[in-house]
């Protein structure tokens, strides 16, 4: 009888993690449903980073630039086994660098010939932070023993867990053990930047699905859960979007499906295709739900959205000195000023990570100044909900010196 119980528990533990479950949509919906203002901002931000004008600009850059993003890993453990090793952490960073630069060794073996030309190097790299927000040295890892009653998925960013490092400068990753055994991880979409919810911005991931060694468990032991969730962090959606075939992920080169692929299947496969085709579904894309060994690439269209995100909501990461000192010219600093979303109905953000900005003026098309506001943050929120629909012009200053002008469309 004892043996039967042991076998039963073992089988149940396998079933509990038999399918990938990403809670990004659930977490975003919690914010959207509880805050109508955030709902509008979220929709406009996602429209902004999917706008062809912004994605095409990202793809058609005249020069290739690789942005290196500082990472801090917050380990929250209830026992010694959950206190993941530095080796496990570094294995995950290595996987992210391979997957986002398209140097992963399984690209050719997993991605069918028909889809390989669509594969993209995101020109994004990841490094462990070498300095904390206060400038002191770090290895990019902090650890905390938490109580057995600690609910990782809800408390990770609170004082009971480990609070966020400046999310305008670091990609925060929290590693722990979920109380919900079906949950692998989640990351917030870029619309969270600069809002009152920014203290939870980053990746929250189970230690059993992190990296490829230590506590990582098959079939999610190749580090692809983090690759998938950080895709959300950069603005990517699942290929099936809302699942109704009328609102997919907004990416032209990922075939529209109406449901997730949870298992490794043979190519081609049209089971969940909105419009069956010769090549079928791109189930081996990092943003689907197949096991780690069966996903191996992002597309150029997905790269365009990630780069538009880096030119908008997450622009401050481009000039972060979290893992190295940067020599940035004044012109580069001015170019790093981001204004989003645009068009906008209620408020937009001015992000200036590398140069101080102290106020903005907004003018109508007839030259009349309709609003001015002091700026004192890296991410500044400017409300325009009381302005009439139309085109406006912005002038951004530092100590009476004009730094940047831009056009804003008020919906």
Active-site residue list = 229
Residues whose CB is less than 8 angstroms from the CB of residue 329 and which lie 6 or more positions away in sequence, other chains included: none
Residues whose CB is less than 8 angstroms from the CB of residue 309 and which lie 6 or more positions away in sequence, other chains included: 49, 190, 234, 235
CA atoms within 13 A on the CB side of 74: 26
Summarize the chain as % helix, strand, coil (round to 5): 30, 20, 50
The CA distance from 309 to 190, in Å, is 7
Evaluated on CA atoms 23, 97, 315, 170, the torsion sign reads: positive
CB count in 10 Å sphere of residue 366: 5
- Pick the closest to residue 312 from 333, 332, 334, 342 (CA basis): 342
Query: Strand 369-374 and strand 359-364: pairing?
Result: antiparallel
DSSP per residue, 269-295: B-TTBSS--SSB--TTBTTS-S-GGG-
The CA distance from 306 to 38, in Å, is 21
Q: Is the peptide bond before 219 cis (omega within 30 degrees of 0)?
A: yes
How is residue 46 written in tokens? 């996602």
The CA distance from 393 to 411, in Å, is 14
């Amino acid at each position: 009888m004892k043996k039967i119980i042991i076998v039963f528990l073992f089988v149940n533990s396998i079933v509990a993690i038999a399918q990938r479950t990403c809670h990004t949509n659930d977490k975003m919906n919690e914010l959207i449903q509880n805050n109508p203002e955030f709902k509008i901002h979220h929709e406009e931000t996602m429209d902004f980073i999917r706008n062809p004008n912004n994605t095409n600009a990202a793809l058609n850059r005249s020069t290739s630039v690789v942005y290196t993003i500082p990472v801090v890993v917050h380990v929250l453990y209830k026992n010694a086994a959950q206190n993941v090793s530095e080796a496990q952490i570094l294995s995950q960073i290595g996987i992210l660098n391979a997957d986002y630069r398209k140097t992963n060794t399984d690209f050719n073996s997993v991605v069918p010939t028909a889809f390989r030309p669509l594969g993209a190097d995101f020109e994004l790299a990841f490094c462990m932070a070498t300095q904390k927000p206060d400038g002191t040295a770090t290895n990019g890892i902090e650890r905390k023993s938490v109580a057995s009653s600690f609910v990782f998925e809800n408390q990770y960013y609170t004082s009971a867990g480990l609070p966020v490092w400046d999310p305008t400068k670091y990609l925060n990753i929290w590693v722990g053990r979920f109380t919900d055994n079906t949950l692998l991880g989640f990351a917030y979409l870029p619309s969270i930047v600069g809002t009152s919810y920014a203290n939870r911005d980053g990746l929250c991931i189970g230690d059993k699905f992190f990296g490829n060694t230590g506590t990582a468990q098959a079939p999610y032991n190749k580090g692809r859960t983090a690759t998938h969730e950080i895709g959300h962090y950069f603005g990517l959606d699942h290929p099936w979007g809302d699942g109704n075939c009328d609102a997919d992920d907004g990416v032209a080169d990922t075939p529209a499906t109406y449901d997730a692929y949870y298992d490794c299947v043979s190519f081609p496969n049209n089971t969940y295709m909105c419009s069956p085709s010769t090549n079928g579904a791109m189930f081996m894309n990092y943003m689907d739900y197949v096991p780690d060994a069966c996903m191996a690439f992002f597309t150029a269209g997905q790269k365009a959205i990630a780069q538009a995100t880096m030119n908008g909501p997450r622009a401050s990461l481009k000039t972060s000195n979290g893992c190295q000192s940067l020599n940035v010219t004044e012109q580069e600093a001015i170019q790093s000023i981001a204004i989003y979303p645009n068009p906008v109905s209620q408020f937009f953000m001015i992000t200036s990570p590398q140069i101080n900005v102290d106020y903005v003026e907004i003018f109508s098309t007839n030259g009349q100044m309709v609003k001015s506001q002091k700026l004192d943050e890296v991410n500044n929120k400017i409300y325009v909900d009381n302005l009439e629909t139309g085109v406006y012009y912005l002038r951004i200053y530092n100590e009476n010196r004009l730094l940047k002008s831009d056009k804003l469309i008020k919906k």
